[in-house]
Structure 1
Amino acid sequence: MIDLPTLATAQQALVKAGRTLHQAQQVPASGGNFSVRLDRSHMAVTVSGRHKGHLSVGDIMVTDLEATPVGSDLKPSDEALLHGQIYRLREGAGAVLHTHCRAATALSMLESGDNIILSGYELLKVFDGVSTHLTQFHVPVVDNSQDIPALAAEVEQAVSDGACHAYLIRGHGLYTWAGDLQACLNQVEALSALFDCELTLRQCR
């Protein structure tokens, strides 16, 4: 049984997050998808095709962690399975955000390898477990695919390091997760700034 007050709080928080990320130009057009964990087996996730800057509580639905709708005929975001995957792999994850940050998307296309390494940035201390700029912060990059189960298999291997906080889908966008939605929003903001810095540095080399 889904706790209705918990669901209502999650819906309202995700609507607000959509406006925040839209204003920050993180989710152009109808891109991106968001979720909040409701319990060990369920999540509140955005409905497919909705513009994230104009969400209403009716655009946030409940699914299980396999992205199967619960009590709704609505269709969840195509990549809801990737959200459920993170909740299965990371017991401490309370929210997952997928954005289409321009710098992240551009870097994912420029990077020929399977990860981007961020190092020397003070802002890395935003992330749990990072206490110094003198670290190597790995952001895996996986190739895009319309076959979501196959993509999920690639992601599971890429994020097997428990210290991983985010990954990129090449030419697509960013996924990041945290213990709660506000921390996840902070990570999106931090990663956007870090990717901007990294892109500028690469252009200057």
Structure 2
Amino acid sequence: MDQMTTTDLWAGAVQDVIAAGRRMDRFGWVPATAGNISRRLPDGRIAITRSGGHKGCLTQDGVIEVGMDGRAVHPGDRPSAETLLHCQLYAHDPAIGAVLHGHSVASTVLSMATADGVLTLADYEVQKVFEGQTTHDASVRVPVFDNDQDIARLCTVVAPDLGRMPAGYIIRGHGVYVWGATMDVALARLEGLEFLLACELEKRKLRR
């Protein structure tokens, strides 16, 4: 792979991350400096958002390279504290090409309102966006993990559910993690999950 091709691959990944940040910001899923976005390149490099930046206002400088250990490749770059959760997914499944993390109102409130370790979504047509879901007449399980500032420790809690989370997962009081083979697939699944969580939140309001 020559240098020009390598450079072009990186530029494409950066643009994918920037575009995803703007799309997520448009829906209000990455307020302030919340959230993080990554894309794995065919050569194994990982492009991820720099810590502290607003995801709706990303520039090329806001996307950095990290290794599978979550560490920045270039000195002085500071990745998100949650980079290891992205790397965990990439290490688990070589087919994953993009990971998205957002902080929506629905995911935050619903995860704090349930004492269970799972939210179950059922009977929605939109749930067919998730891998393995072919009908509305089914249910999809979305694990809810307690928040932990020790990300390495949180990874050990998430690990047993890897491979059994077609709709992604939620960190309680924090937000969702969703992934896909491409950025477009990951975004479609994120929008599907956020739509369903918003519906669940509205249903709970109606029950009052």
The answer to whether TM tops 0.5 is yes
Structure 1 partner of 2:180 = 178
Letter paired with 2:132: G
**Cα drift, residue 38 of structure 1:** 1.5
1:30-68 per-residue CA deviation (whole Å, 9 max, x = no partner) reads 000000011464310000000011100111111112111
- Matches for 1:1-205 after TM superposition, within 5 Å: 3-39=6-42, 41-161=44-164, 163-205=165-207
SS of equivalent to 2:96 = coil
Letter paired with 1:98: H
TM-score (structure 2 length as normaliser): 0.93
1:147-173 per-residue CA deviation (whole Å, 9 max, x = no partner) reads 010011111123342x53300000000
Gaps in structure 1 of 5+ consecutive residues: none
What is the aligned-residue identity percentage?
39
Moved over 4 A (4+): none
TM-score (structure 1 length as normaliser): 0.94
Q: Are 1:99 and 1:173, in contact at CA under 8 Å, matched by a contact in 2?
A: yes
**2: distance between equivalents of 1:165 and 1:121?**
13
**2: distance between equivalents of 1:7 and 1:165?**
28
Letter paired with 1:176: V
Q: Are 1:36 and 1:181, in contact at CA under 8 Å, matched by a contact in 2?
A: yes
1:68-120 per-residue CA deviation (whole Å, 9 max, x = no partner) reads 11134210011011000011112211100000011011110011111100010
Q: Are 1:47 and 1:74, in contact at CA under 8 Å, matched by a contact in 2?
A: yes
Q: Measured at CA, do residues 160 and 16 of structure 1 come closer, stay the same or move farther in structure 2, by a change above 3 Å?
A: closer
**Cα drift, residue 130 of structure 1:** 1.0
Q: Are 1:62 and 1:71, in contact at CA under 8 Å, matched by a contact in 2?
A: yes
163-172 or 176-185, which moves further after superposition? 163-172
Gaps in structure 2 of 5+ consecutive residues: none
**Cα drift, residue 16 of structure 1:** 1.2
Q: Measured at CA, do residues 36 and 179 of structure 1 come closer, stay the same or move farther in structure 2, by a change above 3 Å?
A: same
**1: distance between equivalents of 2:159 and 2:93?**
11
1:3-31 per-residue CA deviation (whole Å, 9 max, x = no partner) reads 22111101011111111111111100000
**2: distance between equivalents of 1:64 and 1:155?**
20
Letter paired with 1:193: F
**2: distance between equivalents of 1:165 and 1:200?**
20
**2: distance between equivalents of 1:76 and 1:99?**
16
